[in-house]
């Protein structure tokens, strides 16, 4: 008997799979528990429509992530910190400092999305990878500059 799975069934298949199972398994377990529906032409059309809708939604979400990634690449962040004469910072620049600076520029980003092996502890320009949803990666340029003494 051909059925379409409505939810994941261990050792049987995944959501949306059209599989062939024994009539007893389908009638006594899968269909009464709502884990599957019979593979009629109407149900197949509904499944195809649902798959198209999910694919369109995923495509739209990926497009939004890619446009946000372009926005991050085009927007360098400058962070002013206290530093010694040798270029070492009195402290460090963390992901929170970077996201706070981005927020001042009108860009909201979760600090956990920025991939940093360790906090930035010296002056200079750094390119940090940012992991966005839908497997989109972006590069964020962070410029760490020293504070200028007030006159």
**Which CATH number is 119's domain given?**
3.10.430.100
pLDDT band, very low/low/confident/very high, at 22 (cuts 50, 70, 90): very high
List the Cα angle 128/133/134 in 5-degree steps: 115
85 lies in the same domain as 105 = yes
Shared domain for 141 and 70, answered yes or no, is yes
Residues 35 and 97 grouped into a single domain: no
Tell me which residue range forms the domain holding 129.
66-146
CATH number at residue 10: 3.40.5.10
Whether 151 is in a domain gets the answer no
pTM of the model: 0.68
Whether residues 48 and 117 share a domain: the answer is no
What confidence tens digit (pLDDT) does each residue in 42-89 have? 999 998 998 899 899 999 999 999 999 999 999 999 999 998 888 888
């Amino acid at each position: 008997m051909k059925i379409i799975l409505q939810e994941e069934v261990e050792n049987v298949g995944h959501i949306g799979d059209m599989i062939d199972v024994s009539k007893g398994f389908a009638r006594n377990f899968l269909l009464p528990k709502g884990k599957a529906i019979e593979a009629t032409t109407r149900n197949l059309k509904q499944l195809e429509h649902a798959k198209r809708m999910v694919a369109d939604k995923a495509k739209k979400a990926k497009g939004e992530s890619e446009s946000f990634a372009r926005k991050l690449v085009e927007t360098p962040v400058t962070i002013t910190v206290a530093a010694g004469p040798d270029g070492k910072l009195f402290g460090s620049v963390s992901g929170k400092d970077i996201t706070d600076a981005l927020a001042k520029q009108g860009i909201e980003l979760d600090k956990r999305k920025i991939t940093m092996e360790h906090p930035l502890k010296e002056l200079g320009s750094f390119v940090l990878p940012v992991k966005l949803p839908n497997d989109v990666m972006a590069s964020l340029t962070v410029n760490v500059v020293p504070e200028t003494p007030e006159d």
